[in-house]
Amino acid sequence: MRYVYFYNTGIKELGTLGIGACEDKITDLFFEYEMENVKKNKNYIIKETPLIKKAASQLFEYLNGKRKEFDLPLLKDGTDFQISVWNELLKIPYGETRSYKDIAVAINNEKAVRAVGMANNRNKISIFIPCHRVIGSSKKLIGYGGGLEIKEFLLNLEKKELPQKN
């Protein structure tokens, strides 16, 4: 059984987010543009489970600058390659970015830059698995399921919380 519950973030760039879960793992994070399809999807029951409530609490702490890492059980539903990319994304420190090539090199598959991009695209638990921290090697923002405005917002949120260097 899969559950989903929706939260208004009160943040213009994010709007309402949906958090999906099965019994014991977070499975999805839905952006506002996905809401109608999710609400019509008979595979989801709209219910705030204790796990979804915990994920929402941590998400709001993150959005308020009080949390830098999530402590949640995540269902990484993908191929072995995709899971290796997602695991590498989880290693990117708060406030830092990596290029798609950096990730490809880190998983010992330096020619798989485009495949890393596709794995990012297939990440159903964005923000919790921080694919927003992956940028182009030119340092430009490229590709994000929620849209580049949200990616930029999340990166700026994390940048603000970093201590200033002298």
Taking each continuous run of H as one helix and of E as one strand, the counts in the chain are: 6, 6
Catalytic residue among 63, 127, 131, 157: 131
The single-letter code of the amino acid at 47 is K
H/E element holding 16? Answer: strand 16-21
Q: What is the DSSP string of 86-143?
A: HHHHTTSPTT--EEHHHHHHHTT-TT-HHHHHHHHHT-SSBTTB-GGGEE-TTS----
Which residues, in sequence order, are CB contacts of 49 under 8 Å at separation 6+?
A: 3, 5, 21
Among this protein's residues, is 22 annotated catalytic? no
The residues carrying an active-site annotation are 131
